[in-house]
Structure formats: C-alpha cells, structure tokens
C-alpha cells in the first residue's frame, strides 16, 4: 500500500499512459483552519474522475464543476494558482472551517516522465524534492533530506516526497498488517522482523 500522495501520482501516471488528459492540484498555502495541509494533492481526469483530496469535499466538487462548465482550460497555461475562501461567504460555501483560505496549483500533466521517475525513486527509499516552476510548468527532481519541508515563494513550489520516517515492527502477525497499512499511508518506510517463515505469506516485498 502506498502513501496517499504516491497513490495519487500512480493514478496520474496510469491515466497519462492511457492517453487521458490529467490536471494535478496541490495545496500550496492555507490561512486560518483548512481541512488539508500544504502538499495534499488531487488528480482530475478529463472525464471528471478524481483521486485524492485538497479539502473536506466542497472544493473538490467545484474543481469537477470547473471542468464540466468550461472554466478549466485543458489547453490553457501549464500551471495556474486558484484561491478558495477569500471572503467569509466563500469560505462557508466551500466548507472551509473558521473562515479558512486555501490556495492551490492547477498543473496540467503534459509529460509523465517526472511522475515515473519520482515514483521509482520513492520506491528505492529515496527522499525527493519536486520543484515546480509556475511560469513554465517545468518540474525538477532533486535529492532531499528528512528535515526538508514544503516551500512556496510565489514562483516555485517545492514539495518533499518519500519515506522520512522508518517503523520497525517485530512480528508479522495480523495486527502488524493493520499497523503497517496505516504507517504506509502516512509515508513511513515499514520494516517487518519475524524469523517464522510461515508468516511471510501476503506481505509485500
């Protein structure tokens, strides 16, 4: 099982390879209280299929509506910024608690190579920084450390991917399976230690 972010990117790559046009949304800034932290992602396919989340649900509904009513330009600029919750009324409309404000990048996926490379490096237990240039749409992958954090200066978005924590589970029983699944979703690298070969069945390598 992948982390939530990697699961989104795997779908992005799968859809792109199938010839579908895809837009990737990333939370870059929040003010007040917001349902998802910066770095959260959602992918939207040209037919309206989505995976991931950037809010509690209402913003997702509007992103889909933007696709269907023509506000989303699939052939427009490679990257745009979108802000939700600027006014109190808008925050209430989109379900942002405590008058929160949410800013997203809207990134058209024209090249799936960086997605494939990022996934491969994360599978190799590397920590990777993805730098997105908002003017050109260019993506640069660089090595990162577990202490690096998301940064956004209005021109470049830098997001950290890969396992920054390691969890060692002693015993490969049923409880360890549940804990391992939750830990993977939270970007832990999970190691299982159990000398009993009978318990190997069903574990991913």
- Number of domains the chain is built from: 3
Q: What confidence tens digit (pLDDT) does each residue in 119-149 have?
A: 999 989 899 999 999 999 999 999 999 899 9
Same domain? For 124 and 184 the reply is: no
pLDDT at 86 over 70: no
pLDDT band at 56 (very low <50, low <70, confident <90, very high): confident
Q: What are the DSSP calls for 35-78, one per residue?
A: SS-TT-EEEEETTS-EEE-SSSSHHHHHHHHHHHTT-S-TTS-S
User: Is the pLDDT higher at 98 or at 127?
Assistant: 127
Same domain? For 92 and 137 the reply is: no
Three-state DSSP class for 27? strand
Average pLDDT rounded to a whole number, residues 62-81: 90
pLDDT band at 110 (very low <50, low <70, confident <90, very high): very high
Q: What percent of the chain has pLDDT over 90?
A: 55
Q: Order the strands of the 156-161 sheet from edge to edge.
A: 139-143, 128-133, 156-161, 151-152
Same domain? For 54 and 148 the reply is: no
Same domain? For 88 and 184 the reply is: no
68 falls within a domain = yes
CA 107 → CA 15, 43, 125, 171, distances in Å? 15, 9, 26, 43
204 falls within a domain = no
> Across all residues in the chain, what is the average pLDDT?
88
Cα–Cα nearest to 104, from 118, 123, 126, 85:
85
Question: What local confidence, expressed as pLDDT, does residue 120 receive?
Answer: 96
Which of 76-90, 143-157, 165-179 comes out lowest in average pLDDT?
Answer: 76-90
Alpha helices, H only, 124-189:
174-185
Same domain? For 17 and 31 the reply is: yes
pLDDT at 2 over 60: no
205 falls within a domain = no
pLDDT at 1 over 50: no
Question: Containing H/E element for 5?
Answer: helix 4-17
Question: What local confidence, expressed as pLDDT, does residue 187 receive?
Answer: 76
Contact 161, 130 (CB under 8 A): yes
3-state secondary structure 67-114: HHCCCCCCCCCCEEEEEECCCHHHHHHCCCHHHCEEEEEEEEECCCHH
Separation between Cα atoms, residue 151 and residue 100, nearest integer Å: 19
Separation between Cα atoms, residue 115 and residue 109, nearest integer Å: 9
pLDDT at 79 over 90: yes
Contact 12, 52 (CB under 8 A): no
Cα–Cα nearest to 48, from 28, 64, 61, 25:
64
Question: What local confidence, expressed as pLDDT, does residue 98 receive?
Answer: 57
Same domain? For 33 and 55 the reply is: yes
Question: What local confidence, expressed as pLDDT, does residue 67 receive?
Answer: 92
Supply the range of the domain harboring residue 157: 113-161
pLDDT at 35 over 80: no
Question: What local confidence, expressed as pLDDT, does residue 205 receive?
Answer: 53
pLDDT at 167 over 80: yes
Same domain? For 157 and 170 the reply is: no
124 falls within a domain = yes
Same domain? For 126 and 155 the reply is: yes
Average pLDDT rounded to a whole number, residues 46-73: 89
Average pLDDT rounded to a whole number, residues 64-92: 83
């Amino acid at each position: 099982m992948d982390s939530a972010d990697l699961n989104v990117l795997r779908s992005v790559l799968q859809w792109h390879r199938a010839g579908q046009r895809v837009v990737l949304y990333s939370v870059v800034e929040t003010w007040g209280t917001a349902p998802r932290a910066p770095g959260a992602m959602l992918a939207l396919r040209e037919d309206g299929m989505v995976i991931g989340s950037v809010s509690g649900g209402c913003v997702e509904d509007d992103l889909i509506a933007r696709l269907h009513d023509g506000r989303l330009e699939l052939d427009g600029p490679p990257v745009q910024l979108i802000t939700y919750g600027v006014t109190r009324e808008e925050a209430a409309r989109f379900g942002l608690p405590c008058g929160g404000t949410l800013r997203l990048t809207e990134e058209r996926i024209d090249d799936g190579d960086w997605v494939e490379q990022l996934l491969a490096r994360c599978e190799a237990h590397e920590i990777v920084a993805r730098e997105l240039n908002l003017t050109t749409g260019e993506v640069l992958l660089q090595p990162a450390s577990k202490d690096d954090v998301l940064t956004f200066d209005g021109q470049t978005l830098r997001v950290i991917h890969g396992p920054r924590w390691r969890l060692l589970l002693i015993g490969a029983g049923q409880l360890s399976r549940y804990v391992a699944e939750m830990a993977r979703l939270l970007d832990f690298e999970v190691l299982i230690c159990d000398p009993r070969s009978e318990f190997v069945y069903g574990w991913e390598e």
